[in-house]
Amino acid sequence: MPATLLALYRNPEGGDEVLQTFRRRYHEEHLPLIAKVPGLRSTKVQRIAHAYYNEADLVMVTEMTFDDRASLDAAMASDEMRTAGRNLREIAPGMMTLVVLEADDPPEGLSVPVADEHQA
């Protein structure tokens, strides 16, 4: 089962100029380092355009997909990921939270309808 590593980025202190500098450096410096991480199958970067219900301090999310949890764990222990981590601490100090996503199946005996992306 594919495993997903999600990086959540908070709005940096210092205003729009600091945010734009972070975004530029993230794309120019950090993403090329992430691309070298062993086992990484895909990377998707998205800006937070709007938050409903509560104000969110998040400005960007990066989704990294691996074949399985073992591949993700090996990637996290790799020299390439350590190099990317050092770069990130330089360009985004204190801005990021990393989370691993797993499917949340309904409790046993509960059937919950879920929209299928392939249904028209």
- Look up the CATH number of the domain holding residue 27: 3.30.70.100
Cα angle at 104 between 95 and 35, to 5 degrees?
45
d(CA 23, CA 1) in angstroms, rounded, equals 31
**Is residue 17 situated within a structural domain?**
yes
pLDDT, tens digit, for every residue of 60-117?
A: 999 999 999 999 999 999 999 999 999 999 999 999 999 999 887 778 888 777 676 6
Tell me the pLDDT band of 2, cut-offs 50, 70 and 90.
very high
Looking at the predicted structure, is the pLDDT value of residue 119 above 60? no
Arithmetic mean of pLDDT over the chain = 91
d(CA 13, CA 94) in angstroms, rounded, equals 10
Tell me the pLDDT band of 30, cut-offs 50, 70 and 90.
very high
**Is residue 108 situated within a structural domain?**
no
**Is residue 81 situated within a structural domain?**
yes
Domain count, the chain: 1
Tell me the pLDDT band of 55, cut-offs 50, 70 and 90.
confident
CB-based contacts of 27: which residues, under 8 Å, 6+ apart? 45
Domain residues for the domain of 95 are 3-101
| pTM, two decimal places | 0.84
- Can you read off the two tokens belonging to residue 75? 């990637």
Looking at the predicted structure, is the pLDDT value of residue 118 above 70? no
**Is residue 110 situated within a structural domain?**
no
